Chains A and B, each alone.
Chain A
Amino acid sequence: MVSPLHHGGPRRPGWPEGAIALALLLPVTAAVPGLLRLPAMLTTPATALSSWLGPGLAGLTWLAAVALVVVAAWRIAKPPAESPNDRGPSPWAQLRAKPRAVVGLCLVTLLVLCSALAPLLAPFDPLAPGTVPSLAPPSPGCWLGGDLHGRDLLSRLLWGGRVSMGLGLLSVGMSVGIGCSLGALAGWYGGLLERLITGTADLFLALPRLVLALAVLGLLRLSGPASLMAVVVVLGATGWMTMARMVRASVRSLADGPVARSARALGLPTWRILRVHLLPEVLSPVLVHATLNLGRVVLIEASLSFLGLGVPQPTPSWGATIALGREWLHSAWWISTFPGLALVGLVIGLELLAEAASED
Chain B
Amino acid sequence: MGRSLLRRAGYALLLMWLVVSLTFVLLELAPGDASLHFLDPDLPAGHADLLREQWGLNQPAHLRYLLLLRNLGSGQLGDSLVHARPVVDLLGEALPATLGLSGLALLLGFGLGIPLGVWQAARAGTRREGAVGLLLLTAFAMPEFWLGMLLVMGLSGGLALLPSSGVSSWNHATMGWAAGSLDHLQHLILPMVTLLLPSVAWVARHQRAALLGVLDADYIRTARAMRLSPRRVLFRHALPAAMAPVLTLAGVSLPALISGSVVVESVFAWPGMGRLMVQAILDRDSPVVLACFLFYAALVVLGSLLADTAGAALDPRLRQGDRW
Residues of B within 8 A of A126 (CB): none
The segment from A216-224, A260-268, A271-279 that touches chain B is A216-224
Name the one of A207, A219, A307 contacting B255, with C-beta atoms under 8 angstroms.
A207
Q: How many residue pairs between the two chains, A and B, have CB atoms under 8 Å in the bound complex? A: 126
Contact yes or no, A215 B26, CB < 8 A: yes
B22-38 with Cβ < 8 A to chain A: 22-23, 26-27, 29-31
Decide yes or no whether A214 CB sits under 8 A from chain B. Answer: yes
In the docked arrangement, what's the CA distance between A319 and B293, Å? 24
Contact yes or no, B255 A205, CB < 8 A: no
Contact yes or no, B296 A325, CB < 8 A: no
Contact yes or no, A307 B266, CB < 8 A: yes
A326-360 with Cβ < 8 A to chain B: 326, 329-330, 333, 336-337, 340, 343-344, 347-348, 351-352
Residues of B within 8 A of A343 (CB): 141-143, 146
Contact yes or no, B259 A211, CB < 8 A: yes
- On whether A219 and B27 interact (CB within 8 A), knowing A206-B304, A214-B277, A347-B141, the answer reads yes
> How many of chain A's residues have a CB under 8 angstroms from any CB in B?
45
Residues of B within 8 A of A203 (CB): 15, 18
Name the one of B15, B146, B296, B304 contacting A211, with C-beta atoms under 8 angstroms.
B296
Q: B238-278 CB contact bits vs A (8 Å, 1 = yes)?
A: 00000000000000100110111011001100000000011
Contact yes or no, B284 A329, CB < 8 A: no
A204-251 with Cβ < 8 A to chain B: 205-211, 214-216, 218-221, 245, 248-249
Chain B CB count within 10 A is highest, among A211, A303, A343, A348, for A211
In the docked arrangement, what's the CA distance between A202 and B303, Å? 13
Decide yes or no whether B189 CB sits under 8 A from chain A. Answer: no
Contact yes or no, A322 B145, CB < 8 A: yes
Contact yes or no, B252 A205, CB < 8 A: yes
Name the one of B142, B150, B324 contacting A245, with C-beta atoms under 8 angstroms.
B324
Decide yes or no whether A24 CB sits under 8 A from chain B. Answer: no
Decide yes or no whether B157 CB sits under 8 A from chain A. Answer: yes
Closest to B257 in A: A208
Decide yes or no whether B185 CB sits under 8 A from chain A. Answer: no
Distance in angstroms from A184 CB to nearest chain B CB is 15
- On whether A206 and B27 interact (CB within 8 A), knowing A245-B324, A344-B138, the answer reads no
Contact yes or no, B153 A333, CB < 8 A: yes
In the docked arrangement, what's the CA distance between A347 and B30, Å? 34
B161-201 with Cβ < 8 A to chain A: none
Decide yes or no whether B61 CB sits under 8 A from chain A. Answer: no
Residues of B within 8 A of A303 (CB): 143-145, 263
Decide yes or no whether B300 CB sits under 8 A from chain A. Answer: yes
Decide yes or no whether A101 CB sits under 8 A from chain B. Answer: no
Closest to A203 in B: B15
Distance in angstroms from A174 CB to nearest chain B CB is 20
Residues of A within 8 A of B119 (CB): none
Q: B289-303 CB contact bits vs A (8 Å, 1 = yes)?
A: 100010010001001
Residues of B within 8 A of A245 (CB): 324
Contact yes or no, A306 B263, CB < 8 A: yes
Decide yes or no whether B9 CB sits under 8 A from chain A. Answer: no
Contact yes or no, A214 B281, CB < 8 A: yes
Distance in angstroms from B131 CB to nearest chain A CB is 11
Distance in angstroms from B128 CB to nearest chain A CB is 15
In the docked arrangement, what's the CA distance between A299 and B296, Å? 21
Decide yes or no whether A302 CB sits under 8 A from chain B. Answer: yes
Residues of A within 8 A of B303 (CB): 206
- On whether A336 and B30 interact (CB within 8 A), knowing A307-B278, A322-B143, A348-B137, the answer reads no
Contact yes or no, A322 B146, CB < 8 A: yes
Decide yes or no whether A137 CB sits under 8 A from chain B. Answer: no
Decide yes or no whether A80 CB sits under 8 A from chain B. Answer: no
In the docked arrangement, what's the CA distance between A211 and B22, Å? 13
Decide yes or no whether B1 CB sits under 8 A from chain A. Answer: no
Decide yes or no whether B152 CB sits under 8 A from chain A. Answer: yes
Decide yes or no whether A280 CB sits under 8 A from chain B. Answer: no
In the docked arrangement, what's the CA distance between A72 and B36, Å? 52
In the docked arrangement, what's the CA distance between A10 and B90, Å? 63
Distance in angstroms from B61 CB to nearest chain A CB is 15
Name the one of A295, A307, A329, A336 contacting B141, with C-beta atoms under 8 angstroms.
A295
Distance in angstroms from B237 CB to nearest chain A CB is 25
Decide yes or no whether B6 CB sits under 8 A from chain A. Answer: no
In the docked arrangement, what's the CA distance between A310 and B81, Å? 25
Chain A CB count within 10 A is highest, among B29, B146, B149, B263, for B146
- On whether A325 and B149 interact (CB within 8 A), knowing A206-B303, A208-B255, A215-B26, the answer reads yes
- On whether A249 and B29 interact (CB within 8 A), knowing A211-B296, A329-B152, the answer reads no
Distance in angstroms from A282 CB to nearest chain B CB is 15
In the docked arrangement, what's the CA distance between A218 and B256, Å? 18
Contact yes or no, B146 A340, CB < 8 A: yes
In the docked arrangement, what's the CA distance between A244 and B296, Å? 24
List 23 A-B pairs, Cβ < 8 Å: A206-B300, A207-B255, A208-B258, A210-B259, A210-B260, A210-B262, A211-B293, A214-B262, A216-B26, A218-B278, A219-B29, A220-B29, A249-B324, A295-B141, A303-B144, A307-B266, A322-B143, A322-B149, A329-B149, A330-B157, A336-B149, A337-B150, A351-B137
Could you list 11 further interchain pairs (A-B, Cβ under 8 angstroms) beyond the known A210-B260, A214-B281, A248-B324? A100-B130, A208-B300, A214-B262, A214-B277, A215-B281, A218-B282, A245-B324, A299-B143, A302-B145, A307-B278, A329-B153
A residues whose Cβ falls under 8 Å from a Cβ of B: 100, 198, 202-203, 205-211, 214-216, 218-221, 245, 248-249, 295, 299, 302-303, 306-309, 319, 322, 325-326, 329-330, 333, 336-337, 340, 343-344, 347-348, 351-352
List 7 tightest A-B contacts by C-beta distance, closest first: A218-B281, A347-B141, A208-B259, A340-B146, A219-B26, A330-B157, A208-B256
